Amino acid sequence: MTHIHARAGLDPVHPAFVRAAATGLTAAEVAERVARGQVNDVPVRSSRSLGEIVRANVFTRFNAIIGVLWLVMLFVAPVQDSLFGYVILANTGIGIVQEWRAKKTLDSLAVIGEARPTVRRDGVAARVGTSEIVLGDLIEIGPGDKAVVDGVCAEADGLEIDESLLTGEADPVVKRPGDQVMSGSFVVAGGGAFEATKVGREAYAAQLAEEASRFTLVHSELRTGISTILKYVTWMMIPTAIGLVISQLVVKQHGFKDSVARTVGGIVPMVPEGLVLLTSVAFAIGVIRLGRKQCLVQELPAIEGLARVDTVCLDKTGTLTEGGMDVTELRPLQGADETYVRKVLGALGESDPRPNASLQAVIDAYPDAEDWRSTESLPFSSARKYSGATVSEGDGESGTWLLGAPDVLLDPDDDADASALAETERLNEQGLRVLLLARAAHDLGHSEVARGAEPVALVVLEQRLRPDAADTLRYFADQDVHAKVISGDNAVSVGAVAGKLGLTGGVVDARRLPDDQEAMARALDEGTVFGRVAPQQKRDMVGALQSRGHTVAMTGDGVNDVLALKDADIGVAMGSGSEATRAVAQIVLLNNSFATLPSVVAEGRRVIGNITRVATLFLVKTVYSVLLAVLVACWRVEYPFLPRHLTLLSTLTIGIPAFFLALAPNKERAKPHFVRRVMRYSLPGGVVAGTATFVTYLIARHHYSGTGALDAETSAATLTLFLISMWVLAIIARPYTWWRIVLVASMGASFVVVLMVPWLQHFFALKLVGVTMPWIAVGVSAVAAVALELLWRWVDRRVPA
């Protein structure tokens, strides 16, 4: 066996197993295939194109309705009655700009997190972009690498590939030269190389990778809820608008154009057009904020999903601890010679071209001796918990050695083994990781190679704790999010590490967990730290937690985390993790910092909490607009408002405040049933506002009867509606902070300015006539405000969220 450490270009390459006869394509052959178009050129997009962004923001159902009404108003009414159209243009422009900014952020991050397979050309291994692979390329793979194109195995060194993401079969498949390698599968043990037989759109990997990393705007409870609301709004609008049109055309006391203007004025506010826009803007700004922290959101709803999480499953290695380890002590057993043991360890390290963190620490501590060589190797597998090699010693003799978990390799009923296990337990209690070096009694090809292994030495490793892990765990505890440490390492050792980070709770050896899902779920609820967890068991544990109604996030960076990451509600992968974990995760922490997770949670809570808050503002307007239209049609009176009045009210009580409220900090944990939560406030709020406004309007019509002062009647109704809407805003803005008080007060002051400045009075057709009617309007508003307070408090107590 020969190990060649080759590098080409600027990208670093892992040490790779290379056979002299298999040098890969030559530069000329690569150029020829590129010229023929035999390139893996399927684009993997992380976001929508600019054209898709524009279409999604411009061509909406409600933009079409508003656009038609705007064109009508441009012909039949003064420009101030067409202001709502310009507001829609501005809003749509803001939405396009914000999502374009989010797209650029995502695209730049996607390049950083892009998989770069190792390809051997002219006998030299180099990393290339996925789109640079050509037909016939020899692609090297090792633990954690994903097959990005279809191919045929050319080399195999204990190569085991997991095809569960494609076939659903959980057991890894051993690959030998000539076997098919399916794109989308990933390596769990060993290494090798395969020749690309299908590239571009012919390879299934192209579809899989694009689907896995595509930036989506779907499958979000928030968006689904808003779509549901809009669907019902549409069905309410149609008959209400028809009734309003008929009633206004019958009541022609003030001319056809004025009737049309008031009809449009009744239809426009039924449309909660800003709600969809504000949701898009809030999500886009969330993506930009997280992008600045090197957090790649591969699926937009992941921001929302993590905010709903109540349980976080943490893989210890790479999450709570840094990837690297250090050998702190070597303890020979049963009188073994330490110098001899060091040489064996050096040869074992040399046997694996893609060492994991534990073996890398051994390699760093014990360099291989020139006259000791590995002639056969068994790569480490997280399923069996050990690796092995047949070592040719300097004197010509050879032996088979195993390196792995003591509690897996040793028999507790054997006295010598029991002594080694007791020593291991003491070290584990100190938070140290222990590997056992054992001489095997059988060849590596034996089905039970570990049976009867003789313990020779304990290798003591110290893991490097992440400096930010304790603060992050404390954050989750404060936010009532339960952390579960799920690791393949020894349970006692993992528990000690968790204890150093301030995580308390029961420590469980996962090998003793019941197979029954319900029983496993109970054990998971009671325990906090779980060790010796098999890869398939991680997946089962996620499913068991979900069966109890938990929303589960899973973090990880190793190939043994892939299945659990895929099944979890939210998968979070480290940027330095394997290609397979990055492909299936919804969120990738490119800076490998576990401390970024609180930012993602906070961003999701901000978006969901604030959109739920401001959605009430928009839907109160929709409800009172529909109610006013129905009441006007039933009483056969002129609609009380022109479009300019409602544009002013919407801007001051909804548009401007909602923008600020939607981007404000919000740490409240996201709650389910978005539609129910919003409508339980919007319906009573809209009914009170619409009823009070119409009562004021009828009183004003009677008060000003005979004068023909429609402007005075409208002004009184506008004052009532504004004051009630301001009270709704004041309730929504709670709990108060200095800037929320300033926001509400400035909106009220702006309306006062409109009433006081003559040219603004004329522009908006608002003029309060006399003293009696304005004070009646204020009184009706005060009664409505009290009714709102009582109703919403009753809803809080009696109506389930």
Q: What CA–CA distance (Å, rounded) separates 291 from 303?
A: 12
Phi and psi, residue 331, nearest 5°: -115, 95
Identify whether the C-beta of residue 182 lies closer than 8 Å to the C-beta of residue 172: no
Q: Identify whether 258 is a catalytic site residue.
A: no
Task: Quote the radius of gyration of the chain (alpha carbons, Å).
Answer: 34
Strand order in the sheet with 398-404: 321-332, 454-465, 433-439, 398-404, 386-392, 373-381
For residues 795 and 688, the answer to whether their CB atoms sit within 8 Å is: no
Within 10 A of 129 (CB to CB), how many other CB atoms are there? 14
Q: What are phi and psi of 681, to 5 degrees?
A: -100, -35
Which residue in the list 137, 179, 310, 315 is annotated as catalytic?
315
Phi-psi region of 37 (alpha: psi -120 to 50; beta: other; left: phi over 0): left
d(CA 229, CA 616): 11
Could you give the C-alpha distances from 647 to 86, 248, 617, in angstroms and in order? 10, 20, 14
The tokens describing 608, both together, are 């969901």
Going by C-beta distance under 8 Å and a sequence separation of 6 or more, which residues neighbour residue 150? 180, 181, 182, 183, 196, 197, 198, 202, 203, 204, 205
Q: What are phi and psi of 148, to 5 degrees?
A: -95, -15
d(Cα 353, Cα 377) in Å, to the nearest integer?
10
Check residue 670 and report its DSSP letter.
P
Task: For Cα atoms 532, 535, 538, give the angle at the middle one, nearest 5 degrees.
Answer: 80
d(CA 362, CA 297): 36
Give counts: helices (H), strands (E), the chain.
28, 23
- Residue 635, judged by CB atoms within 10 A of its CB (0-12, 13-18, 19+), counts as middle
Candidates 662, 568, 660, 656; CA nearest to 608 is: 662
Which residue has 């069966």 as its token pair? 547
153: which residues sit within 8 A by CB, 6+ positions away?
Answer: 159, 175, 176, 177, 178, 179, 180, 181, 192, 193, 194
E strand or H helix that includes residue 92: helix 83-112
Please give the torsion angle defined by the CA atoms of residues 679, 682, 683 and 685, in that order, rounded to the nearest 10 degrees.
Answer: 160
User: What is the Cα–Cα distance from 617 to 724, expressed in whole angstroms?
Assistant: 12
* Start-end of H helices in 429-569: 469-478, 491-500, 517-526, 535-547, 562-567
Task: Determine the straight-line distance between the first and last CA of the chain, rounded to whole angstroms.
Answer: 66
Among 538, 539, 548, smallest CA distance to 518 is for: 548
Which of 121, 281, 262, 333 shows the shortest CA–CA distance to 629? 262
Catalytic residues: 315
